[in-house]
Chains A and B, each alone.
Chain A
Amino acid sequence: MADADFQEARERAEPLLADVALDRAELELIFSLVEAGDEETWLRERLADALRD
């Protein structure tokens, strides 16, 4: 799927997701992952951030 289409889907879905069920951390997790370029880099950075916190 093209990024533009995905962005459109995200823009439409995000208010619903935010309003209905997800806390901000979950929402951030979902969108950060679905927009990530490389899974290993994403996971490593995520773990690094969490370890710093």
Chain B
Amino acid sequence: MRFEIEAYPQGGLKVIPLIPDVGPICEIEGRNGIGKSVALRLLQLCSGNQPYGNDPDSWATLREQLGPTVVRAIGLRDGETVVWRLNPEVWKETPEPVGAWLGTVEIDGAQARLEDAQRLIQVVHHSGDLTLEGTIRARIARDRSEVGVIRRRFGDREQGIGLHLDALRRDLERADYHQLSALAARADEARARAAEEAVAVENARAGRAAVERAMELREQQRRLREDVPELEARERGLDQEIAEAGAELRRVEQRYNELRAQRRRDEAVVTQIEEVEKAISGRARRAEAARERAAQSAAVLGLSDDRQVVERELARLRAERDELVRERDLIDATPRVRQLVDDLSTRLDTQRAHDLDEQVIAVLADEAVTVRELRGGVKARREELGEYEPEPTSATLAARIQSLTTRAARLSTLVELMTKASRAQELVAESQAQLAELTAQLPAEEAAEFQQIEQALSAARARHLSLVESRAVVRGKITEIVGGGAEEGARELEQLLGALGSDENSLEEVLAARAAELETRLREQALASVALTEAQRQLQLARAEFEQAVAILEGGDDYGWLRSDGIELPSSDLSEEENGERLTRLRSVVAELERRFDGARETLRALDGALDAWASPDRAGERMTPTGESVRRHYERVFGTELSSQDIVKAIFDAGEFVALDLASMVVSWRTEDGELRTRPLAAFSSGERAFAYTRTRLQAIGSQARNTVVALDEFGAFLARDRLKQLVSFLEHDVLGTIANEVIIVLPLIRDYEAELDETTGGLHQELAERVAELRSNGYFARPPDWLVV
């Protein structure tokens, strides 16, 4: 077969244009630098092998300087012709394994694939100038290149997979069921603690209330002992005085009636006076009754019969109640939150709000929330709050608030009573003024008589009223003191003191202690309440995240690819627990897969580094890694097997037995036929020994499946100084041609001075040498069948 290379390289790069068909073994002999090796490497590239894998600089030079090139292999075993059209401009920047980027291929004029051409022809390039050490390192470099192919493909694929895994992991992390369960447990704990603290507050409050009650009862008993007898005596005295004042009033009224009866000259005025007086009498009774009720009510409430005092007390009560309402809301804001949520829900459910569904209404931690999302969240919260039950503490406070409200209502009623009494008094005063006007219409003497008796009547009524008021106050005070009963109070006080373990004189100290205890418990309860609110908030957030993740995995566009092959994904139809289990399993396998990816990536990276270090002669420091050690063991075993082959052992190990290769020091040890153990650095073997032994081994290792295999032996100058040429040619003819390859190309430097020999030769030999000289002059090389033995 013959090879033609049509190239127009620039920048000093050269490539020989022709390898003629001179027979199964073709010797190419020529000057250095004319492009013999470049031609062989191009053929190697065309047959799919990357010869520059460990030499990126030479690859860059070839890529930049070669230019568009056509390579032809003509006259293959079955007469085929293969043409490669190469365009180095689009070649890979680094010497990557050969792919479609190399160029186009035609087989017998028809477009074909690179693989088709490779099945037809393989060119195996073997360099004879490699040292044993260099051969080993080149082999490692080649393996690194192969691993690099795997690594790059793996990296490319992993990038795509990684995007899916990242997104999946992020969404699964949002749906952390363990975290959700933990938060639910924490919320339960916080709720339990809040309930405990509420009970503790309740107990403390009850404790303080018991002391306060005991003090009230103690005071009641004191007043029962000291005040009530006096009050009752006073009441009896007042009863007597009222009776006397009543009798006096009736006497005055009698005198008045008699006077009116005597003065009937002007009936109209007297009749009017009589009517007004009746009105005054009725109004005075009603005013007295109102004053009596107001005075007694004020006394029962422990207040003086003074409207300003009552109003101040009412204001104080209301302020205290408001303070307690604030305290209740601080501990349990749920009622107010529920109200707010209800308001929000109503507003968000209007048509106007629905029209704005996709608009952003809030931004939470960089995440925009639409009207629709907010409505859903508020609805969910509203449903939660629908199950709200007030905590015991709130109930206690509510009771206290209720008590204050009740007392405030009674005070309010008292104010109304006072207002009525005041109004009734005003009416009495109006009637009295009217009476005075009527009386003035009488003759002066009569008027004086009427005025005198009216004044006496008014004074009698005032005195009666005053006494009635005083008695009402006394009665009210007695009622206030006696309360539920004097004996019951004494029994209750005795029981309370027993329960408190105290006597009456120590109640102030006990009260101070109980008040301090209540204060402490209130602080603890407030802390527990805050903790509960926070735990519930976190739980709600986690649950919202969880539910969102379930929804995304169940129906989100990003996970369409995941919904088949029977993968058990979460579903809104399932329970939270079942979804949690599914998500946890999925999260676990995603994590395991990521872990494996990490491991594989790291292993490939470490292997690449180790291979690079072992392929280089001067990077010993980078080999001292676990992977570097594994690489060393691997290659010592691999090369050990190859160096143990019969040919090698016979050629360079004294026909003995190979023992070991130390890859780090590049030293081999073997045992001679006599059993002597020898060691020698690989560099110490002669080039002839190395080349022959390794050439044989490497050629025998060729496993080409192509229909046409060409072995190109390059840089075989080492053979020329030795008689191994005969051995090599014999080996090629008998063991290579026909079994390993169907053609061999041997490339040699110019080994003789043919021009000088021309004058010394004659006949056919002279003619042959003259042709070689002519070809050398025109092309720089010539190609012939091997003639080392004949020429």
Contacts and interface: CB of A to CB of B under 8 A. Distances in A.
Contacts of B606: 21
Contact of B593 (A1, A34, A47): A47
Given A19-B634, A50-B592, A51-B568, A13 B562 contact: no
Contacts of B673: none
Residue among B157, B568, B637 facing the most chain A CB atoms (10 A cut-off): B157
Interface residues of B, number: 51
A21 B592 CA distance: 19
- The B contact surface, by secondary structure, is helix
Contacts of A1: 96-97, 99-100, 149, 153
A20 B392 CA distance: 70
B754 interface: no
Contacts of A36: 157
B600 A44 contact: no
Interface string B76-102: 000000000000000000001111100
Contact of B143 (A2, A16, A33): A16
Interface in B558-586: 561-562, 564-568, 585-586
A31 to B, nearest CB: 8
A21 B637 CA distance: 15
Contact of B160 (A13, A39, A47): A39
A9 B149 contact: yes
Given A1-B97, A48-B566, A30 B150 contact: yes
B193 interface: no
B294 to A, nearest CB: 83
B634 A20 contact: yes
A22 B130 CA distance: 31
Contacts of B99: 1-2, 5
B685 interface: no
Nearest to A31: B150
| Chain A facing B: main interface SS | helix
A47 B607 contact: no
Interface in A18-47: 19-22, 25-26, 29-31, 33-34, 36, 39-47
B48 A5 contact: yes
B181 interface: no
A51 to B, nearest CB: 6
B285 interface: no
A26 B146 CA distance: 17
A29 B596 contact: yes
Contacts of A25: 596
A5 B631 contact: no
A26 B600 contact: yes
B567 A13 contact: no
Interface of B: 48, 96-100, 113-115, 118, 142-143, 146-147, 149-150, 153-154, 157-158, 160-161, 164-165, 561-562, 564-568, 585-586, 589-590, 592-593, 596-597, 599-600, 603-604, 606-607, 610, 627, 630-631, 634, 637
Given A5-B48, A10-B149, 9 more contacts: A1-B96, A13-B147, A13-B149, A16-B634, A26-B603, A43-B164, A47-B589, A50-B592, A51-B589
Interface of A: 1-2, 4-6, 9-10, 12-13, 16-17, 19-22, 25-26, 29-31, 33-34, 36, 39-48, 50-51
